[in-house]
Amino acid sequence: MTFRDLNLNTPLFNALDDLGFETPTPIQEQSFNVVSSGRDVVGIAQTGTGKTFAYMLPILKNLTFSTQENPRVLVLVPTRELVVQVVDEIEKLSKYINNRVLGVYGGTNINTQKQAIAEGLDILVATPGRLYDLALSRVLQLKSIQKLVIDEVDVMLDLGFRHQLINIFDLLPDRRQSIMFSATMTEDVDVLINDFFRNPERVSVAVSGTPLDNISQIRYNVPNFYTKVNLLEHLLNDTETFNKVLIFVAFKRMADRLFDKLDENFKEELCVIHSNKTQNYRLRSIEQFRDGHNRILIATDVMARGLDIDNVSHVVNFDTPLYPENYMHRIGRTGRAERKGESLVFSAEKEQDAIDGIEALMDMKIPLLELPEMVEISSELIEEERPQIKERNNPTKRRDEDAPGPAFHEKKEKNQKENLGGSYKFKIAKKYKKPKTKGDKNYNKRNKRK
């Protein structure tokens, strides 16, 4: 099947021709008629299979021209970087269509976004937090929303957006089409579907947790952080093979720590993104990596979730993710658009349970390789790897319940109040010598003279 076999219109055909796309991916092919029908849809497909086009092609095909100011299509995504990416994809498809697209996210001036909304739009792409702020300000009206798309919904729930999503659902009209796409399906996602979707049609081109066939996977058992750094540096020295490498770490402090270590040998080739970096820095790092200016990008799970970066040769899991679904999203950054990709995972002894969970989800074993002989095994440990010393039977060590409480002192005499009932006002009157009658301002002066 080609895109010509789908019931698209000429503007979309022309846009796809300009992009050089001829054949739809399985998720695009199977979801087109379902989304076009107007039914609620839940789509499951591996990351990197074109889910954005899968929901936008039928939406744009049926989106008629309108001059109304309020948006008719709402796309929710978890991160700012995804907002920028989805807006860019929609604009590519809308090259020959007269529609208005806007992306809004936190970390930027909300007043500028309010002005853009007031000018009118058809499609709004947003993160849940900023969308809810704009809706509460009454500048953004959601009463005209006809189609709601939630992309990477499992990430939103992981990031704590559940309550904001529920509040947004309450602001939307009941008569709407709800569309959800994700690479994994969790229990939390099922609960959301049951609460807010009406008999959704499920479109699945793979079991949740199935890796793409074109991604080869290997793993190394590595004892600690510094040995992982030595192994990574050894691999990255092969610039011909490892020509575009995305390295995943668990949290921000680890990303900065790894960046500092690799910066010694790979200065101009290296960049990093995580949520503590400014928005401009993050977008610039992604663009430099996408354009090939930087060969190596270090990222946390949240920052790189859903990002579409072409020709990533290798994904390196510097640590093993605790949740198997995160591993699936990580390795999906390579092997995109049916290209070949490779994934490596470094696992320490304490991460073996996480490896077991990943292999159970994929229903396959990840091939284990021996460490190369030239990689030095370090005995130095970082703070998180050092054993916690627990002192037993130490009479001088206080237990928590024996710890002293907040400092206590008696109130100063002037602050001590005595409940004297009705006589209190007489005591005050005596102390400050209030005048006996109102308006007798000279009463106190006369008493002083006496």
pLDDT band at 361 (very low <50, low <70, confident <90, very high): confident
In whole angstroms, what is the distance from residue 309 CA to residue 311 CA? 7
Phi-psi sector, 395: left (phi>0), alpha (psi -120 to 50), beta: alpha
Q: Which of the following CATH numbers is that of domain 3-204: 3.40.50.300, 3.40.50.150, 3.90.209.20, 3.20.20.70?
A: 3.40.50.300
Q: Which of the following CATH numbers is that of domain 215-379: 3.40.50.300, 3.40.50.1260, 3.40.109.10, 3.30.470.20?
A: 3.40.50.300
CA atoms 314, 288, 88, 145: torsion sign:
positive
Q: For the segment 164-173, what is each residue's pLDDT rounded down to a tens digit? A: 888 999 999 9
The answer to whether 58 touches 32, Cβ cutoff 8 Å, is yes
Establish whether domains 3-204 and 215-379 are of one fold: yes
Q: For the segment 234-266, what is each residue's pLDDT rounded down to a tens digit? A: 999 999 999 999 999 988 999 999 999 999 899
pLDDT at 49 over 80: no
Q: For the segment 365-413, what is each residue's pLDDT rounded down to a tens digit? A: 999 999 999 999 999 989 888 886 665 666 555 555 545 556 656 667 6
In whole angstroms, what is the distance from residue 97 CA to residue 18 CA? 14
- Write down the domain spans for the chain: 3-204, 215-379
CA angle 125–128–133, rounded 5-degree value = 100
